[in-house]
Structure 1
Amino acid sequence: MKRILWLFIAILSLGTILGACGGKSDGDESSSGEDVKQEITMNAKSEPPSMDPALATDTTSGWVMDHVFEGLYTRDQDGKTVPGLAEEAEVSEDGKTHTFTIREDAKWSDGSPLTANDFEFAWKHVLNPDTGSSFAFYLYYIKGAEEYNKGKGTVEDVAVKALDERTLEVTLNAPLGYFDTLLTMWTFYPVKEELVSSDANWAAEADTYVSNGPFKMTGWSHDSELVIEKNDEYYKEDEVKLDKITFKMVGEATTAYQMYKTDELDFMMTLPTDAIESEKGNEDFEIVPYYGTYMYMFNVEKEPFTNKKIRKAFGMAVDRKVLSENVTLAGEIPAYAMVPEGADTPKGDFREEGGDYFKEDVDEAKKLLKEGMEEEGWSTLPAVTLLYNTDENHKKIAEAAQEMFKQNLGVDIKLANQEWKTYLETTKTHNFQMARMGWIGVFVDPVVNLDYFLGDSPNNRTGWVNEEFDRIMAESKVEQDQEKRYEMLHQAEEILMEDFPMMPIHFYTNTYLMKTNIKGSANYVNRYPFMKWAEVEAK
């Protein structure tokens, strides 16, 4: 009996040791907390003006659409261009014809098959003059695209054709070395022909929204929040860890900051300036480079900015270093050109190679202002209003610039602000004198920064048209020698900065706050964080 008792005690002891060192009991699991919800809330700051890939022109809409759509190519976690829906891609010997094989498991979020025809329809829909796409010019590389979009050709002339359900053939005007990267932007996303053809407002509500990316839209309370959830029909749905992302639309940076601090937000960007210094050094705070330019556009069709000397006077009267160090506080780089740092060329960084095109010079600014007014026959300068979209940081920059114009030029200007969607429409119709704008490269190449100012670009809201600039930009797009191509882009930028239809303020950075238990987000230099691979870990 003693032997049996000791054996029983030994077994119990061994069981206790194994329990402590090995697998968890039900009690162990409950004591470590329940499973972490794979849900996050991020601040988009404003209502996406359009969730239609053919119509969107802004970073907010693009950020959400990047989560719910995918094109022939996409990007990996490091930002490199990789195949998306294109399972295979072949290029002809002359480099003009690209033949893509669509993945066999490509599906729409409603479970229906996604075919090559959806791409053909989508791209021709963008080019259709009746669609009114501001980004249609990005498709002008395709043979027949520009002619059709400008009403000088037919849709049949556009060299995009679905050869069968899985094969898409595209012929370009000339070889294009960055065509695969171009195809990552949202304008080239597919759309479901059956849906878009039958409902012009398909992209306005969650109930009618169909997409094909890692997430799908499931809710949209306008001007409040937009909800996306994991798309089980996505061909790599096993890579998607998050079940739900809620995009809040909180425009006031101070309010968003308070919500982050009270755990109502898991991510926010563009901190209020008075919070940046206090957050520096904190684990969840980050300042990241952003491939774009913050600027004030001049409407060259409205006085007093019909005069180039007056435009330059305003540009030379602003102390950008003071703005960066004392107002914005986020490490922005003062800008004296259009193309930001970050674009590599055979000779090095494009911006470093091109240098600055002007500098702050109060005496020269006063001289130019006087000369410009004399040329126009003005004894006093026409009243000037600077327009900006509603945002605390935009307001602070505008107020600082307002004071600099007063101190350095003796000019009093007025300030006005509008909500983002209204602001875009106001500037699109050229109903302004001077207005804030930011332009982010949809991919990292000087051509996309300079394309903004093409004479026939719907995004060019300045009214500025220069035939020589347009000619050089067009020729650069078919130039196969990369060194020559970048030389031409430098020439185009020089023409732009000589005519000065805008005044650059700084090259962007972004300030982020993200909860430290969110891992796996991809931070691209020209996009907001992409959450395809993100997951929430236990705190």
Structure 2
Amino acid sequence: MKRILTAVGFTAVGALVISGCAAGGSDTDGGDDSGLVEGSSITAAWNQAFYSMNGNTSFGNATANNNINYLVLDGFNYYNNTPELVKNTSFGTYELVSEDPLTVTYTVNEGVNWSDGTPIDAADLMLNWAALSRALDTPDFDPGEFTDPETGEFTDAFPEDIVYFDSGATPESGMGLVTETPEIGEDGRSITMTFDQPFVDWELVFSSPLPAHIIAKKSLEIEDNEEAKQAVLDAIESEDAEALAAMSAFWNGGFNFTSMPDDTELVTASGPYMISDYQADQFVTLTANPEYAGENSPNIEEITIRFIPDPLAAVQALENGEVDIIQPQATADITDALEGIDGITVSTGLGGTYEHVDLQFDQGRNPENIFSNPQVREAFMKTIPRQEIVTTLIEPIIGDDAILRDSQLFVPGAEGYDESAANNTSADYAEVDIEGARQLLEDSGVTNTEVCILYASNNPRRVNEFALIQQSANEAGFEVTDCGSEDWGGLLGTPGAYDASLFGWQSTSLGVTNSLPTFVTNGINNLNYYSNERVDEIISELNVTFDAEQQITLQQELDRLLWEDFYGVTIFQFPEVTAYSDRVTNIDPSILAPTIFWNAWDWEVTDAGTEE
């Protein structure tokens, strides 16, 4: 028997992570802790391969990574599928000590360990602060010339004497506001951070830490775990540039890998699961972490995540019993194929990801840096067949729910969306205007009209979108070329790699400020080198604005400026399809990343699975 469910609607969502896809279940705050079943295993599928255990870098910030990192790296809070923020008190606590100045104490519980048995303590928290705040970075360093345009990673020529944590922190928001070195508690498991100014989303700034002792051991060539931890604290307290440079370099790239690393210390985990196997481009296997003592203890001993870029192949794997859970990019073919499979549950609806095209204001592939010219940006936006994409690729999946998304900030249906869409000039790009685009391109005076578009070349829907955009833009005089790549995620933001990008932003939180690093000058998600002084001012205002109505007013002004600057276009909100077999239960997706994985510790193998 097949069950069809309709996914719950969504509200306004904030923080963004690069998405490779759109991205009964327990929605309690700690799982039902029914107990680990030895020998139990299931297989899920995802459309993009894992490549970094550090999702806080500009290179690693992708859903494909953070789905897995969410399960292997524990932290102080997470979102359930209501969605609402849940304090993970079995890991530790955070306390608002003072509102003026904004002061917060983070404390890891006693007895909370890394998977190698090493306690998680102040060293991990302090290194996390240094990385996420960049307060100790070498001033005015630009890593652009040391980024490989073929991979998006830093090159071997990266200077060894530079302290640079690639977290994208800026002085205007989030952890970038904590410029003063935190105070370590007497218990050795806590730090107290004082913000330079109030910050409305202070609860969301301290993401899961990486193992400080592993970073110090590898970068400073220290063998003993406790000595390594002390070296971290000493380097931060004394602002030892040589040690910090080595640690920041390892923090940036040391956790990037595309198969199981020979050095298994690199997969040291703090969450309910740990990486136990990784076959390149095929699968990652997660095994229950024996050192995990938190509330979210897993029921299933082993979860394998297979990488299946082709959504129809994912459906076939589900039908064949090769995988138990899929959430492929939805197409009409996918929904049709799922209708013919018995013994599965299918959930459909709109998700928290939106499709968009961004234009490179600087550092593009075109030698003339074509999109530095506003007339050319406007011309190209006029050629993007937004409505045709929605009509031909999205409507067949979700019918009347398939609409253009007309805002860079607001989700359709959220408070403030309609008014923003009516005033932000998005209506100028509802239909293609080839003649207008051709005239603007001619008036611009550009001589090289080549535009190379980066997208996921192994994603059928993106391939179709690219073809529609290419055909339309070429009619206006552009020469659209193909920068599609299976490794598109790591290439985003890489200087000289492409001129425009087509991908999805996946929402990860409800914070009002957390989509702002996409638009603030030098923000971690500002992958197209956009900069506008008034936009930066608005973002600074939003950081300290606690009034909900004023937040919406500021966001509407920001939205209007982005469209008036010809930032790029939004296209549609992702249709989301989740399907799972009767072998597994408690699958209940969230609209926020990590969607299906948010409560993987609650998943259970059913009697149907054990009878095979």
Letter in 2 for 1:462: N
Which structure's residues are more often helix, by fraction? 1
- Between 1:118-127 and 1:311-320, the stretch displaced more is 311-320
Q: TM-score, normalised by structure 1?
A: 0.81
Query: Residues 364 and 430 (structure 1 numbering): CA distance in 2 closer, same or farther, change over 3 Å?
Result: same
1: CA distance, partners of 2:337 / 2:279: 33
* 1:479 and 2:549 aligned: no
1:168 Cα offset (Å): 2.3
Letter in 2 for 1:447: T
1: CA distance, partners of 2:524 / 2:80: 31
* CA offsets 1:28-84 (integer angstroms, 9 cap, x no match): xxxxxxx99631111232222311244331111111000111111223453321222
| Equivalent in the alignment of 1:136 | 169
1:67 is paired with a residue whose SS is helix
Point out where structure 2 has 5 or more consecutive residues left out of the alignment. Answer: 1-36, 138-162, 219-249
8 Å CA contact 1:295–1:437 kept in 2: the answer is yes
1:122 Cα offset (Å): 2.0
Which protein shows a greater Rg? 1
Q: CA RMSD in A?
A: 3.0
* CA offsets 1:351-400 (integer angstroms, 9 cap, x no match): 2342243224657552244034213265xx72333221221121011112
Letter in 1 for 2:269: S
2:335 to 259, 276, 294: 276
Letter in 2 for 1:246: T
* 1:523 and 2:589 aligned: yes
Superposed counterparts of 1:54-133, under 5 Å: 54-55=56-57, 56-76=60-80, 78-84=82-88, 85-87=91-93, 89-94=95-100, 96-126=102-132, 127=134, 129=137, 130-133=163-166
1:504 is paired with a residue whose SS is strand
2:604 to 526, 532, 535: 535
1:170 to 193, 196, 209: 193
- Between 1:70-79 and 1:225-234, the stretch displaced more is 70-79
Query: Residues 99 and 333 (structure 1 numbering): CA distance in 2 closer, same or farther, change over 3 Å?
Result: same
Query: Residues 256 and 71 (structure 1 numbering): CA distance in 2 closer, same or farther, change over 3 Å?
Result: same
* 1:419 and 2:486 aligned: yes
| Equivalent in the alignment of 2:526 | 460
Share of identical aligned residues, percent? 17
Point out where structure 1 has 5 or more consecutive residues left out of the alignment. Answer: 1-34, 148-156
| Equivalent in the alignment of 2:556 | 490
1: CA distance, partners of 2:513 / 2:434: 30
| Equivalent in the alignment of 1:46 | 48
| Equivalent in the alignment of 2:10 | none
1:502 to 554, 562, 568: 568
1:228 is paired with a residue whose SS is strand
| Equivalent in the alignment of 1:514 | 580
* 1:190 and 2:209 aligned: yes
1:335 to 399, 405, 413: 405
1:182 Cα offset (Å): 4.0
* 1:400 and 2:468 aligned: yes
Query: Residues 377 and 316 (structure 1 numbering): CA distance in 2 closer, same or farther, change over 3 Å?
Result: closer
8 Å CA contact 1:142–1:159 kept in 2: the answer is no
| Equivalent in the alignment of 1:300 | 361
1: CA distance, partners of 2:358 / 2:278: 33
* 1:285 and 2:346 aligned: yes
1:258 is paired with a residue whose SS is helix
* 1:256 and 2:314 aligned: yes
Q: TM-score, normalised by structure 2?
A: 0.72
Query: Residues 353 and 120 (structure 1 numbering): CA distance in 2 closer, same or farther, change over 3 Å?
Result: farther
* CA offsets 1:445-488 (integer angstroms, 9 cap, x no match): 45333420222124322232111111211121022333223322
